[in-house]
Amino acid sequence: MRNFDYQTPTRLIFGRDVVAGLPEVMRPFGRRVLLTYGGGSIKRIGLYDRVRELLKDFEIFELGGIEPNPKYSTSVVEGVRICKEQQIDVILSVGGGSVLDCSKAIAGGAKYDGETWDLITGKAPTLAALPIVDILTLAATGSEYDAGGVISRTETNDKIAYIDPHLFPACSFLDPTYTFTVNAKHTAAGVADAINHVMEQYFTHASNSVADGFCETLVKTLMKYAPVALEKPDDYEARAEIMYACTFGCNGLLALGTAGSPWPMHGIEHALSAYYDITHGEGLAIITPHWMRHVFNERTQERFVKFGLNVFGLSADMAPAEIAEQTIVCTSQFFKSLGMPMTLREVGIDDSRLEEMAHHVAVNEGLNAPGTFAPLNEQDILSILKAAL
């Protein structure tokens, strides 16, 4: 087991109507609040009005319309401007992972005198950030319990993970009832995203039994309850189990004591959603089985076998190579059962820019580092993309 140093400062408040405690949580941070949200779903479900009523004694400024795959040049820049001009004390993010990711970039930029993009790209260090409180309405990204977010810059086709300890939310409110109205597409995409978060950390060298057990349990939980939530969207237990499982996807807990991972499937998908603005979870559902098939060999076989035995319950009587093959098939079949697209053409991506995307990933994502589970060079990435067509 590898050495590790782990800390998470985020307070999680989970359950029905926990948002009632919002004023008490917000008050220590100050009265001037930037309320961030997305396309308006929080207004349709009544959460916007509830928040405004709960915070009637606070001074609220708003940044709405934050996009899926949140955009730097619009939402981040505008949010930083508001924070600086209005001397914001705290950001309240209400929505899904995209809203929260954007809010994290705004929080860092609000405390920086230069161009916020310098923080996102690591050109300059993040030395401080505004505190963030969030109310989650979509189970997927795990941003409510981690120190990072992903920001897109469309003019350069960049989609970059901005990660820094200052970006942990101070407090996250997780009420599964706010996910009842999430449609089937985004419920399934959220589950696919979360499963892939776990797999990125499972398929690694130098793992350990505790980390593996966490990962296997989370994947089995998501696979068990996703069909229930799709069949009965207001099933509280199903939505609660999914939300709980998604929360642990990216905060480092699953990788403690392991060799770590460059997150290759995310690295490849980031190009897809940067170039074509597709739904992140759908892109991951497409890429994941093809990455698995590409990197499977005698050296990597053991992890595939363990995943197949402990997650899918495959028979140990089969030959190891057969177990590994069935593990890949089962993964693909599960995503397909959720209604996920399984080819790039289904989401409007043809072969015209595959070489360009492969080059972009190879240059920017660091997937060929020595010692990783399965290093990928530009030709490997291109082969995976072509197989996914």
3-state SS, one letter per residue, for 102-126: HHHHHHHHHCCCCCHHHHHHCCCCC
pLDDT of residue 250: 93
Level-2 CATH architecture, domain 184-388: Up-down Bundle (1.20)
pLDDT of residue 66: 97
* Mean pLDDT along residues 349-357: 98
pLDDT of residue 13: 98
pLDDT of residue 368: 95
CATH fold for the domain made of 11-178 = Rossmann fold (3.40.50)
* Mean pLDDT along residues 11-34: 98
Per-residue pLDDT band at 40 (split at 50, 70, 90):
confident
* Mean pLDDT along residues 37-65: 97
pLDDT of residue 370: 85
pLDDT of residue 92: 98
Percent of the chain with pLDDT over 70: 100
* Mean pLDDT along residues 25-35: 98
Per-residue pLDDT band at 331 (split at 50, 70, 90):
very high
What are 95-106's pLDDT values in tens digits? 999 999 999 999
What are 93-147's pLDDT values in tens digits? 999 999 999 999 999 999 999 999 999 999 999 999 999 999 999 999 999 999 9
pLDDT of residue 205: 87
Residue 157: pLDDT above 90? yes
* Mean pLDDT along residues 325-354: 98
Average per-residue pLDDT in the chain? 97
Instruction: Specify the pTM.
Output: 0.96
- In the chain, what are the domain boundaries? 11-178, 184-388
* Mean pLDDT along residues 31-54: 97
Torsion-angle region of 37 (φ positive above 0: left; ψ -120 to 50: alpha; else: beta): beta
